[in-house]
């Protein structure tokens, strides 16, 4: 293995610190060269730059290389969030601090470097613009642009041509034509993502001042988010299967050719299932593990992933219904909101702040998940065009597999198209090295320098103390409620059959591909995450307890142990075997 991957960046001198904190819910695995160079470098990173500037965080001229902005890190093939850059918001916003930003966006860890103040960090101009932006976040009635982006990407999907009939040049042109859309939509995302902390932060302060800090999490419960919608659709599919013995029997026989076997049944329930499934794939097929990378396996390209999750729901009783849990979360939110209004009845100013915070939280937590849905659907269209291009190359024996195409860089696509034989050995070498990257444990923090890959630890070699009966692990409260059950440690969502209904899902992190596993789970615990992360938001909508930032939870909690999760307190107690 080389000591540096082909797409790795050099840490910025101006913004030197980067973190894997919250990076895992975007790109948990190494990123393919084509995914990074085509989509991220040419589209998403530039959109992040534009969004930070429009939000008021930074000026164009403050980037060290504004045409190739240092918004995200890429080290050892792994994606990193910009710790130094985001801390700048804490230094510049009135009443803020970099330490508060760390608490809101990143995991609390001892290896996070302390903030180092520079004279240029404080800026009256940026303080004013940030103040205006945060004021808008608290008072607006809608984040209109993210909804317009949603309409745009829905049309993109509806207008997908018959890819098998397109010329190679048209397939590449379609893939490339979507990249500017990624840039524009990620600019929108910055207001969604950064704005999502404002309302919840105000609610936490109000609840703390009133002596009811435990209300804070439940007041955010039941907010409808796009990333949970596939789970509701899967649940509906699972009920069709559960209530039709002939469809259930086909699930019991396994995943091989499952859809064909169900379609061959010809019964009304089978036809209903197939029709609903195709509608599900049309709407949500772009989702899957590691979905921000072209290399990802999605529900459209690998239907067994979706069908496996549907099967786990199929064997769950009706009491696990996400509709019922969601309704309970909404009812609890409304009850506590009424209590907060009673407590604040004598203070018109604080009551007004409460109402604005509740509205802002609903708008921007939903917006945060919608922008992801928008981008993932656009990425899905790029992926499907390139998969057709690659499929033809596999047929011609110019590639060993469709996925091998993603070992190219964007600059190499045209050369490969015209002279594929000149690339095959390089692609095979890269594919082997790419697999080796996945065995490495990326350092949590990169600060100014990056160790050579030969000095990185390998995954699974770190020693942690396994928790025993009576131990209580502490994290961050994510979604209220208490649940007991057997811990089921899963490192990726590709094998939903490992989870039984009523078990406690213990995961390294989650993204929307994990959401279907939330439905049969009694609770969710993740290693990382901070306020506003995916696991929190979805757990609140589905009404299940959630604790995030339980460091090394997947290594410390014994698989199969009985545990008690207190989502409001942020604790996981080991009960025994």
Count CA within 13 A, CB hemisphere, residue 183. Answer: 15
Contacts of 76 (CB under 8 A, 6+ apart): 5, 8, 30, 437, 440, 442, 450, 453, 456
Is residue 227 a contact partner of residue 373, using CB atoms and an 8 Å limit?
yes
Mean pLDDT of each 10-residue bin along the chain, 577 residues long: 91 93 87 98 97 96 95 96 92 87 70 89 94 95 97 98 97 98 97 91 94 91 88 95 97 95 97 98 94 95 92 89 90 96 96 97 94 96 98 97 98 97 97 96 94 92 87 89 93 79 90 82 85 77 88 91 92 91
pLDDT given at position 337: 97
Q: Quote the pTM value.
A: 0.93
Residue ranges per structural domain of the chain? 17-210+352-436, 472-576
d(CA 561, CA 550): 16
Strand duo 472-474 + 445-447: pairing: unpaired
Cross-strand partners of 562: 486, 576
Contact in structure between 526 and 553 (CB atoms under 8 Å) = yes
Q: In 3D, which of 384, 387, 452, 398 has the Cα closest to residue 426? A: 398
Helices marked H in 493-571: 515-518, 534-542, 553-556
Q: What pLDDT score does 107 carry?
A: 62
Burial of 157 (0-12, 13-18, 19+ CB in 10 A): middle
Whole-Å CA distances, 365 to 83, 137, 333: 22, 11, 15
Contact 20/444 with Cβ under 8 angstroms? yes
SS (H, E, C) 169-231: HHHHHHHHHCHHHHHHHHHHHHHHHHHCCHHHHHHHHHHHHCCCCCHHHHCCCCCCCHHHHHH
Q: How far apart are CA 577 and CA 561, in angstroms?
A: 5
Task: Find all residues with CB under 8 Å of 165, minimum gap 6, and list them.
Answer: none
Written as one string, the DSSP assignment of 4-48 is S-TT-----SSS-EEE-TTGGGT--SPPPHHIIIIIIIIIIHHHH
Distance of alpha carbon 442 from alpha carbon 554, whole angstroms: 16
R_g over Cα of the chain? 24
Cα(64)–Cα(448) distance, integer angstroms: 14
CATH architecture of 472-576: 3-Layer(bba) Sandwich (3.50)
């Amino acid at each position: 293995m080389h000591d540096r991957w082909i797409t790795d960046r050099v840490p910025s001198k101006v913004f030197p610190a980067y973190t894997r904190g919250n990076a895992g819910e975007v790109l948990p695995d190494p990123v393919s060269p084509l995914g990074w160079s085509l989509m991220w470098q040419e589209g998403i990173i530039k959109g992040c730059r534009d969004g930070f500037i429009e939000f008021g965080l930074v000026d164009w001229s403050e980037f060290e290389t504004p045409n190739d902005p240092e918004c995200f890190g890429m080290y050892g093939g792994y994606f990193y969030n910009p710790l130094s850059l985001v801390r700048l918001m804490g230094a510049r916003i009135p009443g803020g601090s970099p330490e508060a930003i760390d608490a809101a966006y990143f995991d609390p860890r001892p290896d996070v470097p302390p903030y180092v103040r520079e004279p240029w960090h404080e800026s009256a101009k940026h303080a004013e613009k940030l103040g205006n932006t945060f004021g808008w976040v608290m008072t607006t009635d809608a984040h209109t642009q993210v909804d317009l982006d949603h309409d745009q990407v829905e049309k993109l999907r509806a207008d997908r041509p018959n890819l098998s009939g397109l010329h190679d040049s048209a397939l590449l042109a379609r893939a490339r034509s979507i990249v500017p859309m990624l840039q524009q939509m990620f600019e929108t995302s910055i207001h969604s993502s950064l704005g999502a902390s404002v309302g919840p932060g105000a609610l936490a302060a109000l609840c703390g001042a009133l002596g009811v800090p435990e209300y804070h999490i439940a007041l955010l419960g039941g907010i409808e988010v796009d990333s949970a919608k596939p789970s509701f659709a899967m649940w509906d599919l699972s009920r069709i299967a559960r209530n039709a013995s002939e469809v259930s029997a086909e699930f019991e026989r396994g995943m091989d050719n499952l859809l064909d076997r169900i379609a061959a049944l010809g019964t009304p329930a089978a036809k209903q299932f197939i029709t609903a499934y195709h509608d599900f794939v049309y709407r949500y097929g772009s989702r899957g593990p590691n979905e921000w990378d072209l290399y990802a396996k999605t529900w459209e390209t690998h239907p067994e992933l979706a069908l496996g999750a549907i099967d786990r729901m199929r064997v769950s009783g009706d009491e696990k219904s996400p509709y019922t849990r969601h309704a309970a979360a909404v009812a609890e939110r409304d009850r506590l909101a009424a209590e907060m209004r009673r407590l604040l009845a004598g203070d018109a100013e604080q009551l007004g702040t409460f109402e604005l915070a509740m509205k802002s939280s609903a708008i921007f937590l939903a917006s945060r998940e919608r922008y992801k849905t928008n981008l993932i659907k656009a990425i899905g269209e790029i992926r499907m065009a390139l998969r057709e291009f690659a499929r033809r190359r596999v047929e011609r024996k110019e590639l060993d597999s469709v996925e091998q195409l993603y070992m190219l860089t964007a600059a190499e696509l045209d050369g490969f198209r015209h002279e594929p034989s000149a690339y095959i050995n390089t692609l095979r070498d890269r594919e082997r090295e790419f697999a080796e990257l996945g065995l490495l444990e990326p350092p949590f923090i990169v600060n100014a320098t990056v160790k050579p890959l030969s000095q990185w630890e390998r995954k699974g070699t770190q020693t942690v103390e396994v928790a025993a009966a009576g131990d209580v692990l502490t994290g961050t409260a994510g979604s209220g409620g208490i649940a007991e059950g057997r811990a089921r440690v899963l490192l990726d969502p590709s094998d939903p059959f490992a989870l039984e209904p009523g078990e406690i899902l213990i995961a390294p992190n989650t993204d929307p591909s994990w959401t279907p596993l939330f439905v049969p789970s009694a609770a969710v615990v993740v290693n990382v995450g901070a306020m506003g992360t995916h696991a929190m938001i979805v757990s609140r909508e589905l009404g299940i307890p959630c604790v995030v930032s339980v460091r090394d939870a997947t290594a410390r909690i014994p698989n199969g142990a009985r545990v008690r999760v207190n989502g409001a307190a942020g604790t996981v107690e080991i009960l025994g075997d």
